[in-house]
Each structure stands twice: as C-alpha cells, then as structure tokens.
Amino acid sequence: MTSRQAYAPSLHLEKVVVVRGNRLVLSNLNLDVSAGELVWVRGANGCGKSTLLRVIAGLLDAYSGKVSAEGKLALADENLALDPNMTVGAALHFWAHMDGASLSDRDAALAAMDLLTLSEVPVRYLSTGQRKRASIARVLASGCAIWLLDEPYNGLDSASCAHLDKAILSHIAAGGIVMLAAHQSPSINVSESLVLDSTGRSL
Ligand SMILES: Nc1ncnc2c1ncn2[C@@H]1O[C@H](COP(=O)(O)OP(=O)(O)OP(=O)(O)O)[C@@H](O)[C@H]1O
C-alpha cells in the first residue's frame, strides 16, 4: 500500500445474495475485513469464489444485501486486463496512470514480480506464468489498498510464488487488505479463512 491511502481500508458484506443465471451462487454472506488482514477464500469448484471477488470489485451486482468498501480496490483474475499490443512496461504504466499511481510505483511493481527484464516485451508474447505475474504487477502498481486476487498462484513457479508472498506480506504489514481465492493453502499466515460451501453459504 502506498502513502496515498490516508485512512484505514475495510470491507463489509452484509447478507449478500448473488444469483447467476438461474442459480443461487452466494447466499446471505456476511464478512468484515479490517486493515492488515489477509482473507483466504476457499471452497470447491463453482462454489462462488470468483463471483465473490467480482461482486466486491463492483463488476457484478448482488441480488440483495450490502457490499461496502473503504479504500480503492484492484482485482487480478483470469482476465488479463493488459493490452496485448503494448509492451509490459507501457501496459502497466497505462493502468498505473489510470489509478493515479506513478512511474516509480510501476517500476516497484515490475521489480517485485521480477518483470524488469520483460518490460520491453509485448504483452502478447508472454508465457502463461509471465502473464500471471504481469496481472499481479498491475494490482501492485495500482496503489489500491484492497487487493482481490483470484487464484494468483496458478501457473507461477516457486520463485514467483515467493515474490508474490513477499508482496502480500508487505502490503498487509502496511495496513492493506488482501482477499485471496485459492484452492491451495497459501504458505503465509492468513487472518481469516472464508470457506464457501456448494450452496454459496460460508461455513
Ligand atoms: N456468466 C455466468 N452466468 C451464469 N452462471 C455463471 C456465470 N459465471 C459463473 N457462473 C456460475 O456461478 C457459479 C460460481 O462460479 P465461480 O466462477 O464464482 O466459482 P469458483 O468458486 O470461482 O470456481 P472455481 O474453483 O472453479 O474457479 C458456478 O456455478 C458457475 O457455473
């Protein structure tokens, strides 16, 4: 988290219900997350982990209930929001600029995800793991207080997993919030584990 955040971030979900297609995906979900917390969202395929992050990010509407966030949010999911025809450095700078972040924030994010040597490479040439690292770097460069990371470890080698762990630890130590959806237990300590069951309830 950067010094631009002048107040403590928080997330609050109250009786959130989400319907997708004709299916109840999240059912009466309550959640409170405070500054400095890492929440691991887990559960079986299709239980609603990605849906939850997208609802918090404001990309999907809840059918009912309340979602409120103090602080700016950044989401990294399977959709790579980087222009394939730009270089990695330019694509990340574009988003950092949109988020009100600086070139040095972008450079710090590139360094954190070990992408400096790929800065001049077009996004379309990246391998799967490199694309994932670039997607995470976009969140790191955003300066947002609340990170929503959907399966961020998928496709990463062990060195990149360690880079990501370090970035998450540093973000929560600085008072940020991380919501992390993953099937595997993160190797760093989580503050809370939110387990969704197949009917979208938290266990
Ligand atoms: N666009 C959509 N329209 C209708 N239903 C959808 C849509 N997208 C997802 N769903 C359904 O919503 C449910 C939750 O999907 P979601 O992607 O949130 O699950 P998940 O827990 O992230 O799964 P996984 O572990 O496989 O990534 C699934 O039953 C899925 O089929």
Per-residue pLDDT of 120-158, as tens digits, reads 999 999 999 999 999 999 999 998 999 999 999 999 999
Q: Is residue 183's pLDDT more than 60?
A: yes
Q: Tokens 């969140």 sit at which residue? A: 139
Task: Tell me what the mean pLDDT of segment 62-85 comes to.
Answer: 92
Tell me how crowded residue 20 is: count the other CB atoms within 10 A of its CB: 14
Q: Is residue 1's pLDDT more than 60?
A: no
In the chain, the N- to C-terminal Cα span, in Å, equals 30
* Shortest-distance Cα residue to atom 17 of ligand 1: 50
> What does the pLDDT read at residue 202?
65
Under the banding of pLDDT at 50, 70 and 90, the label for residue 96 is: confident
Do residues 66 and 14 lie in contact, with contact meaning Cβ atoms separated by under 8 Å? yes
β-bridge partners, 23: 20
Q: Is residue 30's pLDDT more than 80?
A: yes
> What does the pLDDT read at residue 201?
64
> What does the pLDDT read at residue 3?
46
pTM above the 0.90 mark?
Answer: yes
Q: Which atom of ligand 1 is nearest to the CA of 150?
A: 22
Token code pair at residue 118? 């790929």
Within the chain, what is the greatest distance between any pair of CA atoms? 47
SS3 assignment, position 154? coil
Under the banding of pLDDT at 50, 70 and 90, the label for residue 162 is: very high
* Shortest-distance Cα residue to atom 2 of ligand 1: 20
How far is residue 58 CA from its own chain's centroid?
Answer: 13
- CA 130 to ligand 1 center in whole angstroms: 25
Tell me how crowded residue 77 is: count the other CB atoms within 10 A of its CB: 18
**Would you tell me the crossing angle of helices 128-142 and 88-98 to the nearest 10 degrees?**
30
DSSP assignment letter at 99? T
Do residues 9 and 53 lie in contact, with contact meaning Cβ atoms separated by under 8 Å? no
- CA 46 to ligand 1 center in whole angstroms: 5
Token code pair at residue 43? 């559960």
Under the banding of pLDDT at 50, 70 and 90, the label for residue 62 is: very high
Q: Pocket residues for ligand 1 (CB within 6 Å)?
A: 20-21, 23, 25, 43, 45-51
More confident residue, 189 or 135: 135
Q: Is residue 203's pLDDT more than 90?
A: no
